[in-house]
Amino acid sequence: MIQIRFLSGGDIDGLGITSTDVIAAVESVVDAHGRGHTVFEPRTHLVPDNGGVGHFNILRGHVSTLGEHGLSGVKVVGDFVPNYQKGLPSELALMTVYDPTTGVPLAIMDATLITEVRTGAMTAVGAKHLARPDSRILGHVGARGTAFANVTMLDSLFPLEEIRVTSRRPESREAFAARLREVTDTPVRAVATAEEAFDQADILVEASRLEEPTPLLRTASVKPGAFVVPYGTISAVELDLLDVMDKVVVDDWRESRSGRFGALRAHVDTGRLSEDTLYAQIGEIVSGAMPGREHPDERILFWHRGLSILDVALAHLILTRAETASAGTILDYR
């Protein structure tokens, strides 16, 4: 008989996984990617005939360094911006993981938390290697699920003196700011516009939820020494943004070139971002093959689209914790 462990969101919340655990797992798999110990294909999209309210992302990956034989996994995550009108998160995800030597499914788990924290952890890992260590002001646009992990993980790594947040809906940004004030002593200010959030910021994160391209992150807002992370599904940056960047780093160049979506999609499609103009993949930097930040005044941009190998790494962390704690529900497969 083959059995599968099912882990609900509640099961996962009860495992006590910390931000430190998540960042360590993500940095480790990014290092593995830089050393060639991962296998994955760029994400694909399923766009239903639903009036344009949302689509699904399908991510597939394998990490050879996890466990005795490695671990393979597939995640399906919905991206439905209007879900707030129904009291639902905009992103809901399901993860399945497999033994890569037999194909036997090992677990099915709610991957909503994985999706939220892995994005923030990737932002944090990028910042650790690419932002100024004395960064004081964080400007963050967007209040969706991934935003909380972005801000709190960055706050744990840098001596921030101010966090500025904004989003399209006033009630959303105010609620986000209030939630952040509950967990940090760093002053948090909700502002009305992206311009206010980004003004003279050391770290600029654009995580908006747009329905059509709109320039929220303007080139003039990026001061010398700034670290910029645009990763909204729909572009919120100006076309000439890359003209002022000293280094452009991505999570994976194949991933950057694929699909219809992404913050720098127009820059890739018009040739403004190419293999020749790209500085490095983040795995090359984390593994030591390429230097990260070399000078205090460098303007550095990090575009991460979300690699499936991060999901696999965090699924492995969750599964091993769950096995130790005998958490979840064991289901008969066949």
Specify the CATH number for the domain of residue 63: 3.30.1780.10
3 state SS of 280: strand
33, 153: one domain = no
Rg of the chain over all Cα atoms, to the nearest angstrom? 19
Give the contacts of 210 (CB within 8 A, at least 6 positions apart). Answer: 216, 232, 233, 234, 235, 236
Long-range CB contacts (< 8 A, 24+ apart) of 267-275?
A: 267/239, 267/241, 267/242, 270/239, 272/239, 272/242, 273/242, 273/248
91, 46: one domain = yes
3 state SS of 43: strand
In tens digits, the chain (334 residues) has pLDDT values of 999 999 999 999 999 999 999 999 999 999 999 999 999 888 888 999 999 899 999 999 999 999 999 999 999 999 898 888 899 888 899 999 999 999 999 999 999 889 889 999 999 999 999 999 999 999 999 887 789 999 999 999 999 999 999 998 899 999 999 999 999 999 999 999 989 999 999 999 998 876 666 677 788 899 999 999 988 766 677 778 878 989 999 998 888 776 666 666 777 777 788 888 889 999 999 999 999 999 999 999 998 888 899 999 999 999 999 999 999 999 999 9
Cα 271 from chain centroid (whole Å)? 24
248, 302: one domain = yes
CB-based contact 73:95 (threshold 8 Å): yes
190, 45: one domain = no
Token pair in block for residue 132: 């100024």
184, 290: one domain = yes
Cα 245 from chain centroid (whole Å)? 21
Q: What is the DSSP string of 105-124?
A: EEEEEE-HHHHHHHHHHHHH
Q: What is the pTM of this model?
A: 0.90
| Domain span holding position 144 | 118-306
Residues in the chain: 334
205, 83: one domain = no
236, 174: one domain = yes
98, 180: one domain = no
CB-based contact 282:66 (threshold 8 Å): no
CA–CA distance, 265 with 258 (Å, rounded to integer): 9
Q: How many domains does the chain divide into?
A: 2
